[in-house]
Structures are given as C-alpha cells and as structure tokens.
Chains A and B, each alone.
Chain A
C-alpha cells in the first residue's frame, strides 16, 4: 500500500513538469466556449421555463355584452380547442400583481381595469385560424395569440442547445487531439529515458503513469481555466445586464453553472485529457525498443 502510494506520488511528481502552460491555455479557451454557452443558456432557460410556451389564445370578453357560460360552451364545442380555462378579472389582477415589479403598479391602480378572459390552448397549426374565428364571435372584445415570442425563444433555446452539444463534442475531440499530440512529443523527447527505464526493469505501468497523469492534469487545469474564464466573462456581462434588467424591474442575472455541473465539467475535461494520453501512449510507446 505504502509502496503503491509512493509509486503514484512519484508518477505525479514526474507528470507535473510535463504539463505545458500553452496547452492548458488552448484547452481552457476551447472549453470556455461550450461552458460559457451552457451557462448563458441555463440562465435563459430558467426564465423561459416560467413562461407559457404552449400555443395559447387569450380571449378577452366584453364585460357588458357577454354571457360567459354561453361563450364557454361555444368554445368548448370547437374541435380545435384542446383545453379551456376561465380567468375572472379579479383573479387576473391578482396574478398580475404577483408578477415581479407589477405589484406596486397594481396597487396604484385602485380599480381593476382587466376584463374577464378565457385562455384557450390549441395546437400550433390551428393557432391562427382559431384566433381569427374566435374574434368574430359576438361578445369577444379582443383575441390575442399569446406567448408567440416565448415559444420562439424556446425553439431557439432548443436549437442553441443542440448547437452547444455539437460544439462541446468538437471541442472535446480537440482536447483529446491536443493531449494526444503533446504526449506524443513528450514520448519522442523522452525516448532515451523510456528506453533506459525499460532496460533496468521499469514496468509498463511505471512508464505510462506519468503520461496519464500529465494528460489528466492538463485536462483538469484547462477545465479549471475555462471555468475561470466563464466566471470572469459572466461577471462582466452581469454588470451590464443588471442595469438593463433593473430598468425592467427584474433581478435577472446570468448565473455561473451550479456546483454539480461545474464539477462534472472538470471531471469530464480531466477524463478527456486522460483518454488523449491513453491513446497516445498506447500507440507511441510500442515503437520504443526494447519491447
């Protein structure tokens, strides 16, 4: 056990000088892209998640002329209507008051300016035709196809997410390639040492271990640098965003990835570095005599 620890400490010590700062920077910058994209997207998603993204129509009623139940029956009979929800004006005001930054406004109003409304859920393709038809029903004051922008945002977010995964895949492969090449060059420059080590009884594991550690540590260091870059960039961004958000009465901020996400990211970066080292060592160590 003690000997085992000593072997690993030794390999670790030999790996440290093999980590190349320039590579760490390259890996860090490369990984900062998907990590930063992830942070931005998660922040936006947290907000978008609170918005209605189903295809919905708000049907506002003309208070003086409408029989609420009769209109409900008509709407319910339409096959394009998936779901129907009635929102009396009192409840609407209460909900509005609960929205951030609106509470004071509502309190200042004194009386309720909102109409009664039906919220009709339909399907994406029926949205426009249904909105047009419902507008013609007597007693309907106004029809509004809600949350169109929110749904566009959600679609956009999904697209961005896919793009992000692709980017992460490509840059992950780049990390493996960078490590592969670094380790290849190191094996070449340490040919003599490797040869002598083999001749005096070093096991394969003993020779490989420092390279594995070098790959792992280089990946970890690159990943850590990426998180630092992301953290710094978000802090800068948030200085601007805060002003903008405050003018809308929001406390929106771009959030740094949560701890489990950051840890998973670091572990993945380390593993990819290790993998690059493994591929390189398996391929290039064989070329050195004696076998």
Chain B
C-alpha cells in the first residue's frame, strides 16, 4: 500500500532529513511513526502525498511511484489520501461545516450527497453539534478532530496524520488516537507520526522508530 525503498531526502541547503529509509505498510495496517523532534517524521509523511519529493530511492503509494509522478497527476493522488497536518491548516474564515465540505468540492457528488457526507464525518468525530461554529471557537482537541473529519470525508483508503495529539492532554490525545483506531478497524490504512511514545505503545500496534533520519 505504501512502501519506501532506500529513500533519502535532502532539503535544499540542509542536511539529509531521511537516509536509506526502507519499510512497507500493508493495506489495513496502523503504524505509528515515532522519533524525537527533527528525526524526520514530518518529512517521511510529506513524501507520501508528494508535498516533498525524495532526493533518491522510491516511494510507492497504491502502486504508483510518487517521486516520478507528473505534476498534473498529483491532485488525483492526494484525493485518495486523508491528510491531517501538524499545523492542521483549517480555514478560519468559514464554518466547521464548510471546512469539511472543502474536499468534496472536486468530487462528483451532488450538493445534497456532499452535505450528507460532511455531516457524517463531523458526527464520527463528535463535532456535528458544532457545525455552525467557527474553527477558532473550538478547543485544540476539537480543532484536531475537525482536521480529521476533513481528512476522512472523501473516504480515503490511506489516512496520514502528523502529530495529531501535539499539545493535548492525555485524555484528549487518547480520544484522538481512538478515532484513528476506529477508522483502521473498518479497513483504512493509517500512518500516525508522534513523539509521544508512551501514548502509542499501549495500543500494541506496529511502531516505526526514526532516529536522525534513519529507521531503527
């Protein structure tokens, strides 16, 4: 489903953020990517939706070599992925509901069907009652759940989350991870980057530990 072989990533003017990274994730798996700050977790996740391109090696997603993908093919790659970003990237000039509607704008659903799906996604993360609020009125944990709702609204086969529990107390953090586990239980492949090893070990899932850009 997702596989890296001998992937290196060097940012322009920087050191190598990833070195010789090789691993693969099977369909339906849930993998936690752990490591200290600067270990390369975000870099690894950004290679999957081609936000960054590998300097060498191959990143294969759903059978496609992402590094070799033409620019015009990238949007279609991203539509099959659900992305939750470290800084959430919510739009604060519109409502919670409209934030979740965003990815549906370029799907082929009718407006009614799109609204129905958006509400279903909000319901899954427990935010349906807040659909008219502005994201700025939500707590950190709620904003994170909103970001998740937006990521899953198009029912992607792969869900990728970068530090979804950052800045949350243990209770809210667990609630967030629980949501991902629920999606995983219905067959979605999930990759979650986190520096909070204590939180994730209790789930008994596969851990991919990064140190200095290498998989340990």
Which of A199, A201, A206, A291 has the most C-beta atoms of chain B within 10 angstroms of its own C-beta?
A201
At the interface, is chain A mostly helix, strand, loop or mixed? helix
Name the one of B71, B93, B106 contacting A206, with C-beta atoms under 8 angstroms: B106
B106 and A199 contact, CB distance less than 8 A: no
Decide: A199 near B83, CB < 8 A? Known: A7-B106, A10-B105. yes
Q: Which of A121-129, A155-163, A189-197 contacts B (4 or more CB under 8 A)?
A: A189-197
Q: Is residue B89 contacting chain A, with contact meaning CB distance below 8 A?
A: yes
A199 and B150 contact, CB distance less than 8 A: no
Bound state CA distance, A15 and B162, in angstroms? 33
B49 and A199 contact, CB distance less than 8 A: yes
A291: nearest chain-B partner, CB-CB: B71
Name the one of B52, B106, B108 contacting A202, with C-beta atoms under 8 angstroms: B106
Contacts of B106 in A (CB 8 A): 7, 201-203, 206
How many whole Å from B45's CB to the nearest CB in chain A?
Answer: 12
A195 and B89 contact, CB distance less than 8 A: yes
How many of chain B's residues have a CB under 8 angstroms from any CB in A? 21
Contacts of A203 in B (CB 8 A): 72, 75, 106
Q: Is residue B91 contacting chain A, with contact meaning CB distance below 8 A?
A: yes
A199 and B89 contact, CB distance less than 8 A: yes
Decide: A200 near B103, CB < 8 A? Known: A192-B91, A193-B91, A290-B51. yes
A192: nearest chain-B partner, CB-CB: B91
Decide: A200 near B150, CB < 8 A? Known: A3-B108, A10-B105. yes
Pairs of residues from A and B, 5 with the lowest C-beta to C-beta distance, nearest first: A201-B79, A201-B78, A203-B75, A201-B75, A200-B103
**Chain A residues in contact with chain B, CB under 8 A?**
3, 6-7, 10, 192-193, 195-204, 206, 290-291
Q: Pick 12 A–B contacts, CB within 8 A, sort by A.
A: A3-B108, A7-B106, A192-B89, A192-B91, A196-B89, A196-B91, A200-B79, A201-B75, A202-B75, A203-B75, A206-B106, A291-B71
